[in-house]
Amino acid sequence: MLTLTSTFLKILALLHVAQVVNADPTHVGPRSSVNGRWGLVQEGTSGVSAMQLAVVTDTKAIVFDKVEHNPLTVDGHPAWAAEIDLPSRTVRPLNPISNTFCATGSFLSNGTMVHTAGNPFFEVDIGVTDGISGTQSVRLFTPCDDASCDLIEDPNVRRLTSRRWYTTSARLEDGSVFIYGGSTANGFITNATINNPTYEFFPPKNINGYNGVQIPSQFLLDTLIANQFPNVLVLPDGNLFIAANQQAMIFNWKTNTETRLPNIPNGVRISYPFSAGLTMLPLTPENNFTPEILTCGGADLDDSLATGAYSSQSPTSNQCARLVLTRQGIAAGWKVEHMPQNRTMVELILLPDGRVLMVNGMSTGVGGYGTGVFDMINESNADHPVFTPLIYDPNAAPGRRFTVAPISSKIPRMYHSTATLIPDGSILLAGSNPNSDVIFNVTYPTEYRMEFLSPPYMFRPRPTFTGLPATLDYGATATVNVNLPRGTRSVTAVLMDLGFATHGVHMDQRLVHLRSTLSRDGKTLRITGPANPRIYSPGPGFLFIVTKDGVPSEGKRFLIGTGAQPPVDQGAIENLLRATENLNSVAPLKH
Ligand SMILES: *[C@@H]1O[C@H](CO)[C@@H](O)[C@H](O)[C@H]1NC(C)=O
Ligand SMILES: *[C@@H]1O[C@H](CO)[C@@H](O)[C@H](O)[C@H]1NC(C)=O
Ligand SMILES: *[C@@H]1O[C@H](CO)[C@@H](O)[C@H](O)[C@H]1NC(C)=O
Ligand SMILES: *[C@@H]1O[C@H](CO)[C@@H](O)[C@H](O)[C@H]1NC(C)=O
Ligand SMILES: *[C@@H]1O[C@H](CO)[C@@H](O)[C@H](O)[C@H]1NC(C)=O
């Protein structure tokens, strides 16, 4: 009987696998990844220090800085935001009116970026007298290719319901943006007084008993002290994965229900100022779109010490931990591995071939600057920059997943540095400024130089494609014309959200394999949109066509869904404006 039952279960398991395969007979993910020569070039400058970075079109990225004496000017004063033209490596200044220091960004379903929160005041006098506080700011940016777009900001029309600094955002399945946590005032680290243990939406919603205004979150109380820039990811069942400090949970935003997950192992803290990198691994038909989280780095320091008890030489962690978000995976718990380097503020960047690139950051110290930690390096709270990229292959056997790239930068990418995959397939490394203003005669100066890192696939013959439609709806098909390297018999259609990077957190970063069928003559590829908006929220994405050997085409931007705006609840907007004080009054120049 026992044998019979187990045989029966085995047959069931086989049937299950067979079903998954049958559901998508044409899908074959990249089987290997390209090794060999890497490239790293330093080209162009970002004009402002790149604290926040996001790709906005096939050829443009935007960067945000804090208000400081940047060389790029706009409207007769130093700029603190800019648009990078990626092919020419040149910049155009942008002109927000509030201080974007420690803000966040996500795109709506219609492709407009919502850039929220920021600094309450202008810490540095750059001659702007009509700037406003950034903590309640909602700035809209609709990307353009003709240099006509800028940030739109009017606190009388749209604003956050409360003050936020070091907050996080994520695009939801209805195309709106979820805004989570942060602090109401500045400090090296948050505390119970300045913690903002609430969440809200843009556009605002009437939900969970709150009409447009912020909703309390117990998790943000339980994760004190070090819980700024929490990690928030949309899961394929519509719930959110949220992690901050040493804790993690599944959050149902529709019912306001928190379900706790096992803590990050070995007491490692993963949010600012002990920042780790964190990403969801690729969602593919092979893994049945099962979400799995990877977090690397951080520190296991006590988060309740006096500022002077931290040091630029404090140890950071070399731990990576993975958790599969299924019932069995959660029961099995986090699986621990170790990087060949200790790191904080490491950026985990998904590559089109499904691997994870790790760049930037430091191997000792903590986030922030000028806060009086012991042994500051000039104003830097950290030391020992990590110059060498690491590659992590999630599908390799344990013990064989890390490769140290055979190339190193010479530019320290410390606090307030960023990095992102860009559409041509290379990785832009930018920023670094652990200083209160622009300064060059220090060990870790204000950094404007941009670097472009090329993985080995950049030097191989690459697929190209044309004819991508502007939008691709769920389950709908589109056919693109492809030109594949000789001998290519199968490819994978890879949909990526390149995200919005700041402080080592990559908001909305995501990689999803689409179902696709290559024509017999290898000249056209029919792709099918994601099954539903929980797999990939409606909004911008980049399509990469990747050969079985792991060589990607350049990425092209399109909108998943219909390109319609998210739900707009006029009653919730009016209630928000009525119920919350407009704190975005003209900002004092100093504290
Ligand atoms: C909380 O942080 C703020 C800003 O750093 C600081 O002024 C305040 O004293 C702190 N409060 C407590 C209770 O530590
Ligand atoms: C690296 O991290 C490990 C734990 O993750 C720790 O035991 C070790 O002391 C760290 N080393 C340095 C140099 O920080
Ligand atoms: C550093 O440079 C600033 C000007 O940027 C100058 O005022 C300052 O005296 C210099 N400090 C040192 C120690 O060289
Ligand atoms: C930065 O620190 C170095 C080493 O302590 C010191 O020589 C230099 O003067 C400092 N620079 C500034 C601008 O304070
Ligand atoms: C996208 O939707 C938002 C929210 O409704 C709206 O403010 C914005 O203007 C829309 N963008 C475009 C390009 O229509």
Considering every ligand atom, which ligand is closest to the CA of 435? 4
316 lines ligand 2 (CB under 6 A): yes
Stretch 470-477: mean pLDDT, rounded? 98
Cβ–ligand 2 contact at 319 (below 6 Å): yes
Asked if the model's pLDDT at residue 33 lies above 90, the reply is no
The whole-number average pLDDT for the span 542-547 is 98
What's the domain range around 149? 6-459+569-580
CA–CA dist 9, 457 (Å, integer): 42
Q: Calculate how far, in angstroms, residue 248's C-alpha sits from the geometric centre of ligand 5.
A: 32
Q: Model confidence over 93-151: pLDDT tens digits? A: 999 999 999 999 999 999 999 999 999 989 999 999 888 889 999 999 999 999 999 99
Domain shared by 491 and 400, yes or no: no
Res. 588 pLDDT band, cuts 50 70 90:
low
Co-location of 176 and 61 in the same domain: yes
| pLDDT band at residue 518 using 50, 70 and 90 as cut-offs | very high
The ligand that comes nearest to the alpha carbon of residue 109 is 5
User: 442 with 484, same domain?
Assistant: no
Q: What is the mean pLDDT of residues 438-449?
A: 98
Q: What domain count does the chain have?
A: 2
Please check the confidence at residue 425 and state whether its pLDDT lies above 90.
Answer: yes
Instruction: Supply the residue whose CA is at minimum distance from atom 14 of ligand 4.
Output: 378
293 vs 148: CA distance, rounded Å: 39
**Residue 204, SS3 per DSSP:** coil
Q: Are residues 354 and 496 located together in one domain of the fold?
A: no
Q: Check residue 458 and report its DSSP letter.
A: G
Tell me what the mean pLDDT of segment 311-333 comes to: 98
Q: Which atom of ligand 4 is nearest to the CA of 443?
A: 1
For ligand 5, residues with CB inside 6 Å are 108, 110, 112, 140, 142, 203, 565, 568
The answer to the question of residue 307 being in a domain is yes
Question: 112 alpha carbon to ligand 5 midpoint, in Å?
Answer: 6
Q: How far apart are the first and last CA of the chain?
A: 76
Three-state DSSP class for 232? strand
* Ligand in nearest proximity to the CA of 344: 2
Please work out whether the CB of residue 191 comes within 6 Å of at least one atom of ligand 1. yes
**DSSP-based three-state secondary structure for 324:** strand
Given this model, what pLDDT does residue 583 score? 64
- For the CA of 444, the nearest ligand: 4
Please tell me whether residues 238 and 376 are part of one structural domain.
yes
User: Quick one: 350 and 252 in the same domain?
Assistant: yes
Asked if residue 585 is part of any domain, the answer here is no
Could you tell me whether strands 471-472 and 556-560 are parallel, antiparallel, or unpaired per DSSP bridges? Answer: parallel
Q: How confident is the model at residue 580 (pLDDT cuts 50, 70, 90)?
A: confident
Pocket of ligand 3 contains residue 148 by CB under 6 Å? no
Model confidence at 31, in pLDDT bands (50, 70, 90)?
A: low
pLDDT band at 36 (very low <50, low <70, confident <90, very high): confident
Q: What is the pLDDT of the chain when averaged over all its residues?
A: 93
CATH of the domain at 525: 2.60.40.10
Res 426 pLDDT > 80: yes
Kindly state if the Cβ of 193 falls inside 6 Å of ligand 1.
Answer: yes
Which whole-number Å values give the CA distances from 156 to 25, 202, 572, in the listed order?
Answer: 54, 15, 15
Alpha-carbon distance of 108 to 139, in angstroms, equals 12
Predicted confidence band of residue 587 (pLDDT cuts 50, 70, 90): low
Distance 74 CA to ligand 3 centre (A): 26
What pLDDT is stored for residue 382 in this prediction?
A: 98
Considering the domain architecture, whether residues 555 and 573 belong to the same structural domain is answered as: no
- Site to probe by mutation for ligand 1, drawn from 102, 193, 272 as the one with most ligand atoms within 8 Å of Cβ, is 193
Q: Do the Cβ atoms of 53 and 63 come closer than 8 Å?
A: yes
| Ligand 4 centroid from CA 440, angstroms | 10
Residue 12 beta carbon below 6 angstroms from any ligand 4 atom: no
Ligand nearest to the CA of 442: 4
Residue whose CA lies nearest to ligand 1 atom number 5? 187
Ligand 3 center to 441 CA (angstroms): 6
From the CA of 114, give the closest atom in ligand 5. Answer: 3
In the predicted structure, residue 56 carries a pLDDT above the cut 60: yes
436 lines ligand 4 (CB under 6 A): no
Positive/negative CA dihedral, 527, 529, 531, 534: positive
Q: Are residues 469 and 551 in the same domain?
A: yes
Is the pLDDT assigned to residue 51 strictly greater than 80? yes
Which whole number is the average pLDDT over 274-299?
A: 98
User: Is residue 589 a part of any domain in this protein?
Assistant: no
Asked if 216 and 177 sit in the same domain, the reply is yes
Domain assignment of residue 144, yes or no: yes
Taking 50 as the threshold, does the pLDDT of residue 16 lie above it?
no
Q: Are strands 556-560 and 257-261 parallel, antiparallel or unpaired?
A: unpaired
* 441 CB near ligand 4 (under 6 Å): yes
| Separation of CA 318 and ligand 2 centre (Å) | 6
332 falls within a domain: yes
Confidence bin at 35 (pLDDT 50/70/90): confident
C-beta of residue 301 within 8 angstroms of C-beta of residue 269:
yes
Q: Look up residue 327 and give its two tokens.
A: 């019932």
What is the best residue among 57, 107, 112 to mutate for testing ligand 5's pocket, by most ligand atoms within 8 Å of CB? 112
List Cα–Cα distances, 575 to 167, 198, 211, 246, 338, in angstroms: 22, 17, 7, 36, 49
pLDDT at 21 over 80: no
- pLDDT-derived band at 306 (thresholds 50, 70, 90) equals very high
Ligand 4 geometric centre to CA of 69 (Å): 20
pTM of the model: 0.94
Same domain for 32 and 49, yes or no, is: yes
Work out whether the CA dihedral 512, 516, 522, 523 comes out positive or negative: negative
Q: For the beta carbon of residue 590, count every other beta carbon within 10 angstroms.
A: 9
Q: How far is residue 297's CA from residue 278's CA, in Å, rounded to a whole number?
A: 9
